[in-house]
Amino acid sequence: MELISSIEAFRTAKLNCCRAAAKANSARPLVGFVATMGNLHEGHCSLMRRMSEECGVRITSIFVNPTQFGPSEDFAKYPRTLEADLDKCEQAGVDIVFAPDNGEIYLQDRCTEVKVSRITEGCCGLMRPGHFDGVSLVVAKLFNIVQPDIAYFGQKDYQQLRVIQQMVQDLNFQLQVTMCQTVREESGLAMSSRNSYLTTEQRAQASSIYAGLKAAGEAFNAGERKADTIKAWVRSQMDAQVRLEYLEIAGGETLEPRASANDGDVILLAARLGTTRLIDNIILRVRE
Ligand code: PAF
């Protein structure tokens, strides 16, 4: 596995890696990509393992992207754990880790923005103004640098995933975006780098978030369709310390709020425990 920080060296390493993979398999290898901000956990590892199964050339990026953090958010204290991350990448079968510094990604004289509209207006977009502009900008840049065939993203960041899918479609990026299931701790808490900010007590309280989503999913399966009633099921299970920032039932594609839920809609929420912000979601599916 190679660790590379410059775009130029990355391109050479990728070319060599593709040549070696093509020689071994006498076919053009698929190039897989997992974009991360580091502090890797089992959620990231599951994306990387899936990439390793499906692709001949496996690339992971580690870059804590300043443009997606608001002025009062946790950019400075976001956990940076490069050594441990590299071990996890190696174990998951990654060939190249691209870990640029800020100056390599953002030139002083940049004039270009990447803005995905409509689906960024609600949910996290409302709570974190400019956040998705930073995500779409950096992901567009990473896609252009890495030029993958398949990029893997977790369902946990559902709105982010939709923003990236939409950007790929609207700007004709030549790649497939694969959504991978949310990986959860035994308690049901969705894996996230921000879980490391939680105390033991808060971790236990945070598990009530998924308990609420599950109860709501069961109500939907039992035939409930009224969005307000389904949302009440989410709240009914939630620990009193969990402060909801938003709770929405939205179209899976459009992310438009629904009054009545349908197959494929998503329950999305963000909540705070102390100062830690957590997000989670489930996709509603009518049982056969
Ligand atoms: O999900 C993340 O970790 C980040 O938003 C991403 C996609 C790596 C862009 O910085």
pLDDT at 287: 80
Whether the CB of 67 sits within 6 Å of ligand 1: no
Protein residue with least CA distance to atom 9, ligand 1: 135
Judge whether residue 288 has pLDDT over 80. Answer: no
Catalytic residue positions, numbered: 44
Spatial distance between the Cα atoms of 249 and 4, rounded to a whole number of angstroms:
41
Q: pLDDT digits over 201-249, tens only?
A: 999 999 999 999 999 999 999 999 999 999 999 999 999 999 999 999 9
DSSP, res 184: B
260 Cα: distance to centroid of ligand 1 (angstroms): 31
Whether the CB of 138 sits within 6 Å of ligand 1: yes
Q: pLDDT digits over 115-156, tens only?
A: 999 999 999 999 999 999 999 999 999 999 999 999 999 999
What mean pLDDT comes out for the span 261-268? 98
Which segments of 13-159 are extended strands (E)? 31-36, 57-62, 96-98, 150-154
Spatial distance between the Cα atoms of 64 and 60, rounded to a whole number of angstroms:
13
Whether the CB of 139 sits within 6 Å of ligand 1: yes
Q: Given the CA of residue 37, which atom of ligand 1 is nearest to it?
A: 3
35 Cα: distance to centroid of ligand 1 (angstroms): 6
Judge whether residue 26 has pLDDT over 80. Answer: no
CB atoms within 10 A of CB 186: 6
Whether the CB of 177 sits within 6 Å of ligand 1: no
Q: Which of 155, 163, 154 is nearest to 118 (CA)?
A: 163
Share of the chain above pLDDT 70, in %: 100
Helix/strand/coil percentages in the chain, nearest 5? 45, 20, 35
Whether the CB of 65 sits within 6 Å of ligand 1: yes
What mean pLDDT comes out for the span 24-34? 91
Protein residue with least CA distance to atom 6, ligand 1: 36
Q: pLDDT digits over 152-208, tens only?
A: 999 999 999 999 999 999 999 999 999 999 999 999 999 999 999 999 999 999 999
Q: pLDDT digits over 50-86, tens only?
A: 999 999 999 999 999 999 999 999 899 999 999 999 9
The chain-wide mean pLDDT, for the chain, equals: 97
pLDDT at 25: 83
Check if the beta carbon of residue 176 is closer than 8 Å to that of residue 150. Answer: yes
